[in-house]
Amino acid sequence: MAASNPDRLIVGTRGSLLARAQTDRVVEAIRAANVGLEVRVEIIRTTGDRKSHQPLPEVGGKGLFTLELEQALHDGAIDLAVHSAKDLPTDLADGLTVLAVPAREDVRDALISRDNVKLDDLPRGATIGTSSLRRQAQLLMRRSDLRFTTLRGNIDTRIVKVRRGDCDATLLAMAGLNRAGLTEAVTEPLEIDMMLPAPGQGALALEGRRDDERVRALLVRLHDTQAAAALTCERRLIASLDAGCLAPIGALARCTDDTLHVEALVAMPNGTRFVRAAATGPVDDAVVIGEGLAERLRAQGADAIIAACRPNA
């Protein structure tokens, strides 16, 4: 259903602090690129928001933060949905597509500890609050003594929980902290050689109706081709691995001029077993590179790790 008013754009987003902050940035950029365009933001509550106190693996990951936004696009209630790219399923709803990918933010994870203690200085047996198996697995690969407890909620809520002593530390994405203006809470950013980010971390995906050329044209000046190529590669990689949300997977693709480099990790949640590989190729071959790296990981045993992470394995 196409928008009825060509001079207006309705942008859908979740209502969290981070979602609003990153959507506000997108809206500002759209207005700057399209002077005179009326842009309105519509807040939509998703399943992930309603079940914010349950561990993510229990809730079920696919479409957790996107289903209601995609339905609003189908219904014509909104023209554009702003997603954190790492929340967007690799299989989009029929008739929808990613129309633009803005320039990517800092891809790293950041440690936030109660007493501003760095990772290697946390006391033995310290408790980390996180619902991310990817973060848990990679932390255990470095510090097997650490303990874990589920910590969900908006990023500002999770920071408060750490400060009041619910756990000794947590990990959050630097990109979200930057966008929400919460970087003063960071104890230390974790470099990617020890903490590969989630596929799509730091990137935004602007989703709309596939045949909506009007909206696509409004976003041309926001689109970053290198960020889009990197995101395409990472999404093709995880789609090819078909791991769902149960196996810890880290992946990062980066572009240097016309060359794309990607590295990825598949691990057991307890960090005792993992495979890691990398690939390089032309930026235009992002899909092929992602698929090829998935095969390389499979050759090292990724399928067995993924199978072991499934329920009743």
User: 13: domain CATH number?
Assistant: 3.40.190.10
The tally of domains found in the chain comes to 3
Kind plus residue range of the DSSP H or E element containing 254: strand 249-256
Q: What is the mean pLDDT of residues 139-152?
A: 95
Tell me if residue 127 falls in helix, strand or coil. Answer: strand
- Confidence band for 192, pLDDT divided at 50, 70 and 90: very high
Distance CA 173, CA 121 (A): 21
Do residues 78 and 212 both lie within one domain?
A: yes
Helix (H) and strand (E) counts in the chain: 11, 13
Q: Is 87 a catalytic residue?
A: yes
Whether the Cβ atoms of residue 210 and residue 116 lie closer than 8 Å to each other: no
- The CATH number covering residue 254 comes to 3.30.160.40
**pLDDT tens digits, one per residue of 29-66:** 999 999 999 999 999 987 666 555 545 555 455 566 78
Q: Which of 8-22, 41-55, 105-119, 200-214 has the lowest mean pLDDT?
A: 41-55
Residue 110 CB neighbour total at 10 angstroms: 23
pLDDT in tens, 95-133: 999 999 999 999 999 999 999 999 999 999 999 999 999
92 lies in which domain range? 8-102+203-223
Q: What one-character DSSP code corresponds to residue 187?
A: S
Count how many Cα atoms sit within 13 Å of the Cα of residue 27 in the half-sphere of its side chain. 19
The one catalytic residue in 87, 106, 168, 212 is 87
Indicate whether 1 belongs to any domain: no
Measured from the Cβ of residue 68, the count of other Cβ atoms closer than 10 Å reads: 18
What is the per-residue pLDDT for 50?
A: 57
Burial 29-47 (b: 16+ CB within 10 A, else e): bbeeebeeeebebbebebe
Beta bridge partners of 279: 262
pLDDT at 288 over 50: yes
* pLDDT tier at 2, thresholds 50, 70, 90: very low
pLDDT for the residue numbered 1: 47
